[in-house]
Chain A
């Protein structure tokens, strides 16, 4: 079972920031938080990941709470092309495991 909980759907106005929450209250100390998104009928696309510090890249920012039990993915200026299902995943860093446990994610709809 997925170790994360996300709202099933969210809406956002184009040009505004999209803030997608994720709860991972059972996360272990060596587990990272990963975010992927999947645009309709395409393969999942990596967005960002982090351990405990906030992270930013060209796509998004990841804010992880100090107790690491939850995080927020921020798309600073959402566009129509950001409409997708967003998955928050907890994954360990040891052993080279490829097993990502996907939940149902959050379907983000960006409206014009």
Chain B
């Protein structure tokens, strides 16, 4: 049973560019959330998707957007990249109706903005 898978694992972009990161949730999971982890910090919540809609959002600008597809996979898009967007981007999934169930995290996509 594959866990949460993310792609790409590493990528390098330049300031002003746009990036799309992809996530496939663990089998049986219907909820996906995204986190940003800067070097030396704990992960920070970006947003959550289920039923193909954004349900909750953290303190991130509109440059950060997402999408969830009917098969529950998700994308994170970041426009107009800034140097400060360099971070590890983590995707997490769970089955929403299991209220207190744990989140399963992927290994992340490491973005470097030059």
- Scan A81-107; emit 1 where CB is below 8 A from any B CB, else 0: 000000100000110111111111100
Stretch binding the partner chain, chosen from B12-20, B64-72, B95-103: B95-103
User: Are A96 and B99 interface neighbours, CB within 8 A?
Assistant: yes
Given A99-B48, A102-B44, A43-B56 contact (CB < 8 Å) = no
Given A96-B31, A98-B56, A100-B45, A44-B105 contact (CB < 8 Å) = yes
- B14 CB → nearest A CB, Å: 24
Query: Bound complex: CA of A93 vs CA of B107, how far in Å?
Result: 26
Q: Within residues 14 to 58 of chain B, which ones have a CB less than 8 A from any CB in chain A?
A: 31, 33, 35, 40-45, 48, 50, 55-56, 58
- A53 CB → nearest B CB, Å: 13
Query: Bound complex: CA of A49 vs CA of B98, how far in Å?
Result: 14
User: Are B43 and A100 interface neighbours, CB within 8 A?
Assistant: yes
User: Are B42 and A49 interface neighbours, CB within 8 A?
Assistant: no
Query: Bound complex: CA of A95 vs CA of B84, how far in Å?
Result: 32
- Chain B, Cβ-Cβ closest to A47: B102
- A97 CB → nearest B CB, Å: 6
- Interface residues of B, CB < 8 Å — how many? 28
In the complex, whether A45 has a CB less than 8 A from a CB of chain B is: yes
Query: Bound complex: CA of A45 vs CA of B102, how far in Å?
Result: 9
Contact partners of B103 in chain A: CB under 8 A: 46, 98, 100
Contact partners of A46 in chain B: CB under 8 A: 102-104
> Measuring CB to CB, which residues of chain A are less than 8 angstroms from any residue of chain B?
2, 32, 34, 42-46, 49, 87, 93-94, 96-105
A-B residue pairs in contact (CB < 8 Å), sample of 15: A2-B42, A42-B107, A43-B106, A43-B108, A44-B92, A45-B105, A46-B102, A49-B102, A96-B96, A97-B48, A98-B31, A98-B48, A98-B92, A99-B56, A104-B41
Which 10 A-B residue pairings sit nearest by Cβ, starting from the closest? A102-B42, A43-B105, A46-B102, A98-B33, A98-B48, A99-B45, A44-B105, A102-B43, A43-B107, A93-B100
